[in-house]
């Protein structure tokens, strides 16, 4: 009995001791297994908390903490490691076999390793950082920059491409100290303080080349080179830059590049941008940034102490950017720019049968090359303070259309049955619906007799179209505008401001209704949309969908049956009269060998009917009707008052139109 009790006591004691051991283990380990500690370790890696990672290593890690943190930082930031994923393959005798997968600058990398865990501490080995790494090995990352895609016109002419520029810089060991900074700065439009700031970088050595500024590689640039290299320590190299061969003529269209900012880096995280990257900031450069940019090539290698290759960890081939071919005819683009370059204008040229945009011009303009080579403060300020606003892209904007809307009013009226094209509305120089308008009258410069639709379009009679809009009525006129998508987002590769027929919360009273009939009121039209609507008059009532990227023609019309076939043909015939009739407002551009149709427009911009200080916008749309070389051009010019009104636009349309028709 005593023996049995003694045996039971021994068993109980063993159990108690085991429980104590287990309890102590749980107290010191928190109940974790070896693989749990490995998971904790790499969770800290995601947060870049290298200090706490070091604290999880065994008491004899064989590496100094500062060295450990610096090594992890340099390697993981160098390979741009992110999005870590850990897989525990097996655990045996507290040795954890794992695979760590991460995304890097050279693609996905999986690092396989084993680590011993003792009392919650990991035994350090270099492969914890990267498989194949040893203490005297280094990780190297090499890169090959992608060539940005070109922007081409329909004939393969380069609108944006790779070019060369001069790059001036300093070699510190060859300078006369800071004695020549002022002289160098005066040549490069930099202050001595700016040069000192550039020369204060920690990486600079006596034989380093410290770049200061890029400038054009042309005759004036060569003259500057000759002055610069006469100064000790100044060196000038040739560098590759983005180049826009047609300068101001295409800059609003192509857009330009700028160096990325913090917002860009955050927005495009993981897309291969760094602090030195350029990004499309406007125009085609911005809209097609993802296609044009390409993807840099990268290779991650482990090398030994002699810089000999040990292992290629990952590699990614360079992918050059794609070329973007536009429907633009750069010869026509240049011609329109040359004619209106001194005006504040917008021009849209298109093939009215296909919708291909042949030219998109905004004047005055700027040169995209200046954004590449850089502005000094004075140049940038002058560009922004220019009263003509060369940075404003006018073909994106909306403007009061004036008489350019009359054919549209007429077409809506014909389709609604409110306009009888042969009816004489009685010629009047001034008119009001009734006495409720007080002193407000619609006036016109030309009141033809008979006062029918054809004559009203040929002579551009405001009163006729005010009466016509009143007869159409508010509901039918607005319904017509809505059918034409006026006020809706314009489907186009570049962002365009939406047109409108009334302001928000507008009452659209009878007076506004009448004014809308001849293109005033609260109407604002985008030039691209106005041109597209005019295409309906040579497409039996269908509005063509404009497009800008070659071989990407939309599958369907923008608005099918916007007008009936009969209405479209009636308006087309009347617009032919605007050009062919000697009394027509567009007769100055008449061609006896090519049938043209068109409409002028003069929009008044003033505070009230009595305001004599306001300005005027001039419009002109001209199009072929049966040519083998179809074209439609819409141009708007600001400030044409006392310069011939819309006649100024007509006169300057001759050269661009002829350059295209007779090429």
pLDDT tens digits, one per residue of 369-414 = 999 988 877 888 999 999 999 999 999 999 999 999 999 999 999 9
Mean pLDDT to the nearest integer, 350-379 = 93
Average pLDDT, the chain: 93
Confirm if 643 and 615 have CB atoms less than 8 A apart: no
Give the C-alpha separation, 429 to 164, whole Å: 62
Mean pLDDT to the nearest integer, 28-53 = 89
- Beta-carbon contacts of 312 under 8 Å, excluding residues fewer than 6 positions away, are 299, 300, 301
Confirm if 523 and 516 have CB atoms less than 8 A apart: yes
Statement: residue 175 has pLDDT above 90 = yes
| The residue to which tokens 């990268």 are assigned | 298
* Percent of the chain scoring above 90 in pLDDT: 88
Listed range (68-72, 302-306, 365-369, 505-509) with the worst mean pLDDT: 505-509
Locate all alpha helices (DSSP H) within 148-305, ordered by sequence: 181-188, 192-198, 219-228, 251-254, 262-267, 283-287, 289-293
Confirm if 191 and 378 have CB atoms less than 8 A apart: no
Cβ neighbours, 10 Å, residue 90: 10
CA-to-CA dists, residue 481 to 213, 366, 368, 418, 491, angstroms: 53, 35, 37, 15, 16
Give the C-alpha separation, 38 to 94, whole Å: 11
CA-to-CA dists, residue 284 to 149, 329, 463, angstroms: 11, 15, 43
Q: What is the dihedral of CA 169, 174, 177, 178, to 10 degrees?
A: -20
For residue 572, the Cα-to-chain-centroid distance in whole angstroms is 37
pLDDT band at 3 (very low <50, low <70, confident <90, very high): very low
Listed range (28-32, 123-127, 196-200, 403-407) with the worst mean pLDDT: 28-32
pLDDT band at 29 (very low <50, low <70, confident <90, very high): very low
Helices (H) and strands (E) in the chain, counts: 22, 21
Give the C-alpha separation, 388 to 384, whole Å: 10
How big is the chain by its Cα radius of gyration, in Å? 37
Give the C-alpha separation, 523 to 481, whole Å: 10
Give the C-alpha separation, 638 to 395, whole Å: 12
Confirm if 412 and 564 have CB atoms less than 8 A apart: no
Sign of CA dihedral 448, 451, 453, 456: positive
Statement: residue 59 has pLDDT above 90 = no
pLDDT at 18: 46
pLDDT at 23: 45
Mean pLDDT to the nearest integer, 58-83 = 91
The neighbouring-strand residues paired with 117 are 122
pLDDT at 27: 45
| The residue to which tokens 């700027």 are assigned | 366
Give the tens place of pLDDT for each residue, 195-245.
999 999 999 999 999 999 999 898 889 999 999 999 999 999 999 999 999
CA-to-CA dists, residue 502 to 436, 477, 490, 512, angstroms: 21, 12, 17, 9
The neighbouring-strand residues paired with 315 are 299
CA-to-CA dists, residue 393 to 108, 365, 426, 611, angstroms: 43, 8, 42, 28
CA-to-CA dists, residue 153 to 18, 159, 253, 339, 531, angstroms: 83, 7, 11, 20, 21
Give the C-alpha separation, 274 to 329, whole Å: 35
Give the C-alpha separation, 347 to 359, whole Å: 7
H or E element: which one contains 299?
Answer: strand 297-303
pTM of the complete model? 0.86
User: Tokens for 472?
Assistant: 């159409």
pLDDT at 350: 98
Q: Is residue 295 annotated as part of the catalytic site, yes or no? A: no
Confirm if 325 and 656 have CB atoms less than 8 A apart: no
CA angle 631, 635, 641 (to 5 degrees): 150
Helix axes 474-483, 462-472, angle to 10 degrees: 100
For residue 251, the Cα-to-chain-centroid distance in whole angstroms is 12
Give the C-alpha separation, 343 to 249, whole Å: 13
Cβ neighbours, 10 Å, residue 77: 10
Give the C-alpha separation, 501 to 513, whole Å: 10
Helix/strand/coil (H/E/C) assignment for every residue in 2-29: HHHHHHHHHHHHHHHHHHHHHHHHHHHH
User: Tokens for 269?
Assistant: 């995280």
Range with top average pLDDT, 14-28, 213-227, 536-550: 536-550
Cβ neighbours, 10 Å, residue 609: 11
Helix/strand/coil (H/E/C) assignment for every residue in 390-436: CCCCHHHCCECCHHHHHHHHHHHHHHHCCCCCCCCCCCCCEECCCHH
Give the C-alpha separation, 329 to 350, whole Å: 10
Q: Compute the half-sphere exposure of residue 506: CA atoms within 13 Å on the CB side of its CA.
A: 17
User: Tokens for 438?
Assistant: 């007080």
Confirm if 57 and 125 have CB atoms less than 8 A apart: no
Mean pLDDT to the nearest integer, 250-261 = 96
For residue 453, the Cα-to-chain-centroid distance in whole angstroms is 44
Cis peptide before 661 (omega within 30 of 0): no
Q: Compute the half-sphere exposure of residue 551: CA atoms within 13 Å on the CB side of its CA.
A: 6
**Catalytic residue (choose from 335, 403, 460, 646):** 403
Give the tens place of pLDDT for each residue, 460-517.
999 999 999 999 999 999 999 999 999 999 999 999 999 999 999 888 999 999 999 9
What single string gives the DSSP state of each residue in 145-174? PPPPPPEE-TTS-EEEEEEEEEEEEE-GGG
pLDDT band at 176 (very low <50, low <70, confident <90, very high): very high
Locate all alpha helices (DSSP H) within 535-609, ordered by sequence: 565-580
Q: Which of 571, 550, 525 is nearest to 412 (CA)?
A: 571
pLDDT at 25: 43
pLDDT at 6: 52
Decide the pairing of beta strands 324-325 and 151-152.
parallel
């Amino acid at each position: 009995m005593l023996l049995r009790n003694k045996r039971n006591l021994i068993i109980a004691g063993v159990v108690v001791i085991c429980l104590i051991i287990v309890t102590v283990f749980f107290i010191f380990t928190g109940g974790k297994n070896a693989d749990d500690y490995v998971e904790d370790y790499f969770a800290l890696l995601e947060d870049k908390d290298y200090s706490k990672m070091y604290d999880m290593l065994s008491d004899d890690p064989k590496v100094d903490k500062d060295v450990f943190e610096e090594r992890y930082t340099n390697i993981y930031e160098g390979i741009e490691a992110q999005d870590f994923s850990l897989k525990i393959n097996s655990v045996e005798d507290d040795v954890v076999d794992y695979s760590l997968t991460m995304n890097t600058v050279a693609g996905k990398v999986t690092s396989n390793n084993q680590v011993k865990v003792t009392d919650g501490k990991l035994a350090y080995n270099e492969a914890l950082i990267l498989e194949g790494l040893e203490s005297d090995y280094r990780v190297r990352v090499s890169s090959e920059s992608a060539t940005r895609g070109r922007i081409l016109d329909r004939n393969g002419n380069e609108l944006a491409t790779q070019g060369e520029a001069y790059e001036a810089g300093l070699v510190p060991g060859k300078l006369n100290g800071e004695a020549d900074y002022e002289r160098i700065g005066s040549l490069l439009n930099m202050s001595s303080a700016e040069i000192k700031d550039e020369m204060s970088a920690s990486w600079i050595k006596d034989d380093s080349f410290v770049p200061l500024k890029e400038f054009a590689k042309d005759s004036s640039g060569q003259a500057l080179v000759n002055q610069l290299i006469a100064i000790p320590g100044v060196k000038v190299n040739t560098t590759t830059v983005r180049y826009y061969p047609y300068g101001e003529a295409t800059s609003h269209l192509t857009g330009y590049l700028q160096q990325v900012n913090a917002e860009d880096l955050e927005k495009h995280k993981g897309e291969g941008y760094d602090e030195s990257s350029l990004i499309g900031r406007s125009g085609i450069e911005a809209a097609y940034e993802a296609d044009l940019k390409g993807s840099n090539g990268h290779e991650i290698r482990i090398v030994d102490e002699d810089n000999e290759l040990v292992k290629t960890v990952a590699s990614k081939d360079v992918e050059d950017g794609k070329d973007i071919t536009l429907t633009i005819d750069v010869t026509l683009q240049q011609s329109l720019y040359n004619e209106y370059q001194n005006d504040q204008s917008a021009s849209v040229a298109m093939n009215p049968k296909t919708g291909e945009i042949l030219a998109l011009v905004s004047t005055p303009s700027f040169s995209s090359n200046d954004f590449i080579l850089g502005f000094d403060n004075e140049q940038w300020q002058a560009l922004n303070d220019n009263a003509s606003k060369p940075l404003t892209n006018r073909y994106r904007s909306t403007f009061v259309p004036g008489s350019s809307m009359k054919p549209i009013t007429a077409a809506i009226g014909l389709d609604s049955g409110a306009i009888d094209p042969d009816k004489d509305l009685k010629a009047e120089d001034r008119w009001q619906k009734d006495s409720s308008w007080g002193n407000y009258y619609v006036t016109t410069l030309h009141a033809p007799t008979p006062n029918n639709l054809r004559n009203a379009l040929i002579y551009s009679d405001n009163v006729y179209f005010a009466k016509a809009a009143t007869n159409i009525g508010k509901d039918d006129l607005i319904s017509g505008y809505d059918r034409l998508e006026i006020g809706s987002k314009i489907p186009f590769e570049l962002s365009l401001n939406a047109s409108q027929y009334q302001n928000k919360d507008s009452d659209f009273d009878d007076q506004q209704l009448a004014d809308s009939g001849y293109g005033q009121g609260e109407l604002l039209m985008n030039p691209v949309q106005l041109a597209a609507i005019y295409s309906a008059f040579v497409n039996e009532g269908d509005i063509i969908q404009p497009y800008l990227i070659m071989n990407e023609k939309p599958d369907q019309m923008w608005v099918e049956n916007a007008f009936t076939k009969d209405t479209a043909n009636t308006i087309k015939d009347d617009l032919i009269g605007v050009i062919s009739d000697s009394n027509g407002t567009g007769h100055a551009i008449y061609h006896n060998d090519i049938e043209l149709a068109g409409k002028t427009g003069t929009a008044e911009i003033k505070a009230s009917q009595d305001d004599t200080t306001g300005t005027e916008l001039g419009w002109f749309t001209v199009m072929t009707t049966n040519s083998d070389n179809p074209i439609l051009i819409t141009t708007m010019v600001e400030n044409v008052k006392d310069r011939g009104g819309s006649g100024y636009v007509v006169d300057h349309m001759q050269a661009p139109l002829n350059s295209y028709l007779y090429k």
